[in-house]
């Protein structure tokens, strides 16, 4: 496939405006410069006319959530994600940001993408957030965000009660005859803050007949870096991961984090200019599947355990827009007996979490969260399911602040619980 230059990608925008109503920042402001079409126009100005990027243009590009809702509806196939990531890289590489802010952003990303540091430095992070945050801090928000906000007790028991850390075993055998071997990444944020989701994923895969390998040498995939424009750092991480996974023996690489999955799938693009890695990176991308999509493709028996809950499904941006995965998670949820899946208005409108956006742009993120919370409450659901850790933590925070008892969980946790109940009924 021939690669398009950023100028060519931007030129593909025919200004039809079909993306405007999908764009969260445009919905909130009605400002053309806060719309995909407007942002592309500003980028085009810089690309075609070779004009330097001024501070105001930078603000509009910075305000973009990177949710890629625009890309999913664009009839002209404009690869907006590539375009904005390229611009973000340029902003970083050309040092266009004030240095205190750049430093704080850097620290935040380093910490979030480094397991060891993340576990140890919640306090330091609140300080970083203070520098980036233009509005007064929301009490306790950041700490809760980072701990996954598990403040309420589960009405439906959730998988794994462990709240901090803990690696997955290097190998988990399939229950029964193995159908295939799956590699599961332990991730960065996931392993520290969402260890229970990782455990539920491994359990679920094993229950569905997959051997699960989890190479501990594999580190962060670089998603947060790539989305934030730290492309070199993302490339380093990508190369390391490609190397690490080549030693492992597996059929499919499965992720339960939408942000990681979309980045892994685009590894070929990220390392396209690296002769040694380009092909291997693309091959790794081609072997990557989101857990929901993988289970549907594999074709699994529905769980026999019942879960009598009303669930609303939230479409994480990097699942619905970047990977276009919307029906598999819903199909899996519907396969659970007793579970009622109710529609969620604006289910694919970004919740505002968007990587580190909720720290760098607290006001917009809070406005989107409020809108999400209102839609969730109106849906009548008692549980919200989603496929991305950032969204889960952020929506938990929003619901807690609204005084709601609605719980937010990963799709995988509900499935694992249904299988677990089925298994214990069979034993009893």
Partner 1 sequence: MLRADQVLTDSVEMLAYECDAYTIHKGRPDVVVHPESTEQCAAVVRLCARMGVPFTPRGTGTGLSGGATPLYGGVVISIMRMNRVLSISPADLRLRAQAGCINSTITRAVAPYGLHYAPDPSSQTACTVGGNVAENASGPHTLKYGVTANHVTALTLVLPDGSVVELGSDADEPCGYDLVGLLVGSEGTLGIVTEVTVRLTPNPREVRTLLAVFGSVDDASRAVSRIIAAGIVPCALEMMDSMIINALEDAFAMGFPRDAQALLLVELDGLGPGLDAETADVSDLCAEHNARSVTAAASEEERARLWFARKQGVGVLGRVAPNKVTQDGVIPRSLLPEVLARIRGIAESHSVRLCNIFHAGDGNLHPCVIFDERDADELRRVLVANEEILRLCVEVGGSITGEHGVGVEKRDAMPLMFSEADLAAMRRVKSAFDPAGLCNPGKIIPGPSAEAAPP
Q: Is 176 left (phi over 0), alpha (psi -120 to 50) or beta?
A: left
What are the structure tokens assigned to 417, written together? 């619980």
Size of the site for partner 1 (CB under 8 A): 33
Judged by CB under 6 A, how many residues of this single chain contact ligand SF4?
Answer: 26
Q: Which stretch binds ligand SF4 (CB under 6 A): 11-19, 108-116, 145-153, 241-249?
A: 11-19
Q: Are 383 and 360 in contact (CB under 8 A)?
A: no
- Identify which range of 16-24, 122-130, 157-165, 260-268 contacts ligand SF4 by CB under 6 A: 16-24
The answer to the question of residue 238 lying near ligand SF4 (CB under 6 A) is no
38 vs 389, beta carbon nearer ligand SF4: 38
Yes or no: say if 170 and 247 are a contact pair by the CB < 8 Å rule. Answer: no
Largest pairwise CA distance in the chain:
72
29 binds partner 1 per the rule CB under 8 A: yes
366 in contact with partner 1 (CB under 8 A): no
Q: Least distance (Å) from partner 1 to the CB of residue 274?
A: 27
Three-state secondary structure call for residue 2: coil
What's the burial of 338, exposed, middle or buried (CB within 10 Å: 0-12/13-18/19+)?
Answer: exposed
What minimum distance in Å lies between the beta carbon of 306 and partner 1? 31
Q: How far is the CB of 59 from partner 1 (least distance, A)?
A: 8
Contact 204, 419 (CB under 8 A): yes
Residue closer to partner 1 by CB (options 102, 367) is 367
From 36-44, 103-111, 116-124, 281-289, span contacting ligand SF4 (CB under 6 A): 36-44
User: Is residue 275 within a helix (H) or strand (E), and if so which, with residue range?
Assistant: none
Q: Distance (Å, rounded) from C-alpha 221 to C-alpha 138?
A: 30
Instruction: Count other C-beta atoms under 10 Å from residue 18's C-beta.
Output: 15
Nearest to 337 by CA among 306, 380, 358: 306
Rounded alpha-carbon distances, angstroms, from residue 121 to 105, 147, 196, 218, 368? 15, 12, 21, 22, 28
The stretch near partner 1 (CB under 8 A) out of 6-14, 147-155, 198-206, 207-215 is 6-14
Q: Is 384 in the site for partner 1 (CB under 8 A)?
A: no
Single out the residue of 3, 5, 15, 343 in contact with partner 1 (rule: CB under 8 A).
15
Contact pick of 70, 145, 184, 197 for ligand SF4 (by CB under 6 A): 70
Closest CA to 390 of 367, 358, 364: 358
Give the gyration radius of the chain's Cα atoms: 21
- Partner touching 33 among ligand SF4, partner 1, none, CB below 5 to 8 Å by kind: partner 1
Q: What is the DSSP letter of 48?
A: H
56 makes contact with partner 1 (CB under 8 A):
yes
**Smallest distance, Å, CB 25 to ligand SF4?**
5
Least separation, in Å, of the C-beta of 262 and ligand SF4? 12
User: 293, 294, 312, 292: which is closest to 377 by C-alpha?
Assistant: 312
One of 3, 77, 120, 236 touching partner 1 (CB under 8 A): 77
Minimum CB separation from ligand SF4 for residue 345, in Å?
18
Tally Cβ neighbours within 10 Å of residue 237.
23
Binding stretches for ligand SF4 (CB under 6 A): 13-19, 22-25, 36-37, 39-40, 64-70, 74, 76, 78, 80
Binding stretches for partner 1 (CB under 8 A): 8, 11-18, 20-21, 29-33, 35, 37-38, 41-42, 45, 48, 54, 56-57, 60, 73-78
């Amino acid at each position: 496939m021939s690669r398009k230059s950023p100028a060519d990608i931007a030129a593909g925008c025919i200004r039809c405006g079909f993306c405007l109503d999908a764009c969260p920042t445009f919905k909130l402001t009605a400002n053309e410069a806060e719309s995909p079409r407007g942002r592309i126009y500003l980028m085009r100005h810089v690309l075609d006319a070779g004009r330097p990027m001024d501070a105001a243009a930078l603000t509009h590009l910075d305000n973009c959530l990177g949710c890629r809702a625009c890309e999913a509806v664009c009839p002209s196939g404009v690869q907006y994600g590539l375009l904005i990531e390229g611009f973000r890289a340029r902003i970083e590489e050309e040092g266009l940001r004030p240095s205190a802010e750049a430093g704080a952003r850097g620290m935040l990303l380093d910490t979030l993408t480094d397991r060891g540091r993340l576990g140890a430095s919640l306090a330091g992070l609140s300080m970083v957030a203070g520098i980036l945050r233009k509005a007064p801090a929301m009490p306790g928000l950041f700490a809760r965000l980072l701990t996954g906000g598990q403040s309420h007790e589960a009405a439906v028991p959730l998988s794994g009660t462990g709240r901090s850390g803990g690696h997955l075993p290097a190998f988990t055998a399939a229950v029964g005859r193995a159908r295939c071997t799956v590699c599961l990444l332990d991730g960065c944020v996931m392993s520290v803050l969402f260890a229970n989701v990782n455990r539920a994923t491994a359990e679920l895969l094993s229950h569905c007949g997959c051997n699960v390998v989890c190479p501990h040498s594999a580190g962060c995939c670089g998603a947060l870096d790539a989305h934030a424009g730290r492309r070199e750092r993302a490339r380093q991480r990508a190369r390391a991961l490609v190397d690490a996974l080549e030693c492992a023996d597996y059929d499919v690489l499965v992720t339960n984090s939408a942000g990681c999955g979309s980045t892994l799938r685009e590894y070929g693009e990220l390392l396209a200019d690296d002769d040694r890695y380009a092909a291997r990176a693309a091959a790794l991308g081609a072997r990557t599947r989101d857990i929901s999509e993988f289970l549907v493709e594999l074709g699994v028996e529905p769980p026999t355990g019942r879960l009598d809950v009303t669930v609303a499904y939230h479409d994480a941006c990097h699942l619905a827009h970047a990977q276009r995965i919307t029906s598999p998670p819903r199909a899996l949820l519907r396969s659970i007996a007793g579970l009622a899946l109710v529609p969620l208005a604006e289910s694919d409108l970004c919740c505002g979490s968007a990587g580190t956006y909720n720290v760098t742009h607290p006001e917009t993120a809070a406005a989107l969260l409020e809108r999400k919370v209102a839609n969730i409450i109106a849906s009548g659901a008692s549980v919200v399911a989603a496929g991305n850790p950032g969204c889960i933590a952020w929506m938990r925070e929003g619901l807690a602040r609204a005084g709601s008892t609605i719980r937010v969980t990963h799709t995988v946790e509900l499935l694992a619980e249904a299988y677990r109940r089925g298994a214990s009924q069979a034993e009893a």
